[in-house]
Amino acid sequence: MPGQDHHQLSEGEHPAVTRFRQYLQIRTVQPEPNYDEAVLFLEKIAKDLGLECQKVEVAPGRIVTILTWQGTDPKLRSLVLNSHTDVVPVFEEHWDHDPFEAFKDSQGNIYARGAQDMKCVGIQYLEAVRRLKAEGKCFPRTIHLTFVPDEEIGGNEGMELFVKRPEFRALRAGFALDEGLASPTETFTVFYSERSPWWLNVTSSGNPGHGSRFIENTAAEKLHKVVDSVLEFREQEKYRLESDPNLTLGSVTSVNLTILEGGVAFNVVPATMSASFDFRIAPDVDLKAFEERIKGWCQEAGEGVTYQFQQKWTEPRITAIDNSNPWWVEFSRVCKEMNLSLKPEIFPAATDSRFIRAAGVPALGFSPMNRTPVLLHDHNEFLNEAVFLRGIEIYVQLLPALASLPALHNEC
């Protein structure tokens, strides 16, 4: 099947599933995504659906594709449906099927990189729009579908740049939907905030010398103290999570030691060593105080211990999930009408929603995949076609409600 024509898949298949599988076959895999083919695919769909299509190059070769369905009242702020086109790398030897074949088994499970994260959602938006347009519907609010690059490597040449551009401001976004996670239970998770990623590198310098001696004040000793402090903090947060059933992973701060570097030979005590940590900081944490804590860990370890950030998100935002937010009221009302059970959570990792919220636009992370194991970034990522098709039905109900939300006080 590899190398086959993208347009010929299973006979008798639902056309939405066929389009989903065609999108999955486009190798937008990091670190060298084929974005050109993805943009062409989206342009073709835009033409097919009669949607306006705008391409914004935010960095060389990094294009945000915006498909627009104009609303009837231009005074009202728009609804933005965001998805990213890139997918994470694969270890093909661990897959039962070619991860870019979009193989469908007899149970209707579609195996492909991006099946859950998040090509499914991009196509579900489009197929819901297709259905609503075919029914002759139109709504007061404009709907923009944004397809962005590079989310999987931090969004620095994707959404982070896009929100600063006039083209983003021109969308006049009132509310956005973006990705969530699969849920193995009947319940759907919906995310209203995210933890802040802090990627920290700690460098320790100390006395070098011959590996046969008890050298005082070595880089390793001092680094060991920092690692101990961080891992002790990790245990405290882990205990807090495990001992309180009301907390989810996103409610606490996690940290992992991810890289250790240093040394040149077995018999040489190195002058410097370094450790890298991946912190994910809960949105209610005082970030200034937290950095003081990190500084304290380094100072306690001794002289010559410094730290620097590879990534440091300092603008956590929380989208209200109560009656103060009319978008949430409408979103949750429609879900209740469909008998969907919602579990609001703080997203444990990072998505492009953080840039959208920091730009002042409320956003919810929602991928309509329940009864599905969480396989984002995992081997044999799959989504069942029945779950995929039900997700389209969910958006067919959600989009009219959100795009018909009456004028808010700041829009009159």
Phi-psi region of 255 (alpha: psi -120 to 50; beta: other; left: phi over 0): beta
Q: Please give the helix or strand (H or E) that residue 18 lies within, else none.
A: helix 15-24
Contact criterion met (CB below 8 Å) for 110 and 17:
yes
Q: Are strands 109-111 and 382-384 parallel, antiparallel or unpaired?
A: antiparallel
- The residue type at 4: Q
Contact criterion met (CB below 8 Å) for 366 and 175:
no
Handedness of CA 391, 177, 169, 146 (dihedral sign): negative
Q: Is 151 a catalytic site residue?
A: yes
Which of 220, 231, 346, 219 lies closest to 277 in space, CA to CA?
231
To 10 degrees, the CA torsion angle through 406, 138, 398, 354? -80
Options 117, 150, 151, 352, the catalytic residue: 151
Contact criterion met (CB below 8 Å) for 201 and 307:
yes
- The residue type at 279: F
Q: Is 393 a catalytic site residue?
A: no
Options 86, 101, 179, 345, the catalytic residue: 86
Contact criterion met (CB below 8 Å) for 98 and 29:
no
The token pair at 310 is 């590879």
CA 94 to centroid of chain Cα atoms: 23
Instruction: Tell me if residue 46 falls in helix, strand or coil.
Output: helix
Catalytic residue numbers, as ranges: 86, 151
